[in-house]
Amino acid sequence: MNPVVIAALLRNHGDKLFYFFLGLGALLFLLIIAVVGEQHSQRESSYSGGVGTAQVNAEVEALRPLFEKYAEEHGIPEHVDLLMAKTMQESGGQLDDVMQSSESLGLPRNTITDPEESIDVGTAYFAQVLEQANGDVKLALQSYNFGHGFIDYANEHNSGEYSKELAIEFSREQYQRLKHTGLYSCVRPESVETGACYGDPQYVDAVMSYISTPVDAGEVEEVIEVGMQWINNSEYVFGGGRTRSEQEQGLFDCSSFVHWAYEQVGVELGNLGSVTTDTLKHKGERVSYEEAQPGDLVFFDTYKVDGHVGIFLGDGKYIGAQSSTGVAIESMEEGYWEKTFNGRVQRL
C-alpha cells in the first residue's frame, strides 16, 4: 500500500489497538497484491490479435464467418472483432446494410441490401482508411465515420494523431461549413453543447465500448493501487465522477470509480459520460464467484438488480465507492454486502 495512504489513515485514528489491527489489515492487503500476478498468469485471451474481443449480439455474431472471410481478403485479419464492434455501433445487425457501407461508395444510406456485400464494402473501406492512418486504429475509426478528410485534418493539426478534442474541433468546423445544406442538425445533447454536429465525434468511444480488452496482472495491481488513494479521501455522489473536475475532487459513484480506476492503466470501459452498472455488467465475460480473481468486477443488488459494482480484491473483499463511506474496502462475506452480492462476476 502507498505509504502516504497509510499515513493518512493513521492520522485519522488515535487508538493504539486500532493501529495494531490496521497493520494486520495492511499486511493482508499486501498479501492479496502478491498473489494477483500468480492468479492472473493463468488467464488466456480469446483474441490473439487486434485490439480485443467484441461483445456483440447474436445477430452480429452469426455474421462472424463473413467478417473473417473479408477481413482476410482485404488484408486485416487481426481486426475481425473490431469490425464486428463497428457493426454493433452502425446497425446492431438489424439492417441489411449492416456496416452502413453505402455512403462509402457515394450512394444514399442503406442502398446496399445484402449483408455480405455490406461487410465486403465496409471492410474494404476500413482497410483503406487504416492504411492511410498508418495503422492508427482510433484515427481510422473516426475517419470511417467522418470520411478521409479527417486524416488530412489530423496530419495538419495534430501530427497525424487522433484525439477526441480534435474530432470535436473537426466536426464543429465541418458543421459550420455545411449547415446551410440542411443535411446536418444538432440532436445529441453533447452536440448542442459543443456545436460538433457533423458526423459523430464520439464514434471511437462508442465502438470501443463493444470491445473487451483482456487485463493483465500488472494492470490489475495498478488498478488496485490507484484506487487505494481515495480511501478516506473521497465522497460518494450519485451520478458523480463523470467530469475531470469531479474526479480530481474525489467525487465518484460506484460505476464512475471503476471506470476511472481502469482508465488510469489505459483500459477503456466505454464512454465516461454514460457509464453505469448496466453498461459495466456486459463488459468482458461472466465467471462464477468460485473462479473470481483480483481485478474482476463484482455486482450487488442494492436499489435495483446489479445496482452497485466494485473491484474484487480476493479473500472475499472488494474495493468500491459506497454511498456511506466513499471509496472503501468491504467484505463480501458478511453483513450488508454478503446479503446484496448477487453472484455476478465479470472478468475484463
CB 197 within 8 Å of CB 281 = no
Q: Which range is least confidently modeled, 249-258, 263-272, 312-321?
A: 263-272
**Whether the predicted pLDDT of 100 surpasses 60:** yes
102, three cell numbers: 453505402
For residue 298, give the 3-state DSSP assignment.
strand
Rg of the Cα atoms in the chain: 23
Length in residues, the chain: 348
Q: What is the pLDDT of residues 39-80, one digit of tens each?
A: 333 333 333 345 567 778 889 999 999 999 999 999 999 999
- Stated pTM of the model: 0.56
132, three cell numbers: 492511410
Which residues have CB under 8 Å from 91's CB, separation 6+? 97, 98, 99, 100
CB 85 within 8 Å of CB 51 = no
Q: Burial code of 259-290, b = ≥16 C-beta within 10 A, e = fewer?
A: bbbbbebebbbbbbeebbbeebbebbeeeeee
Q: What is the pLDDT of residues 74-95, one digit of tens each?
A: 999 999 999 999 999 999 999 9
Which domains does the chain possess?
3-43+216-347 (3.90.1720.10), 53-208 (1.10.530.10)
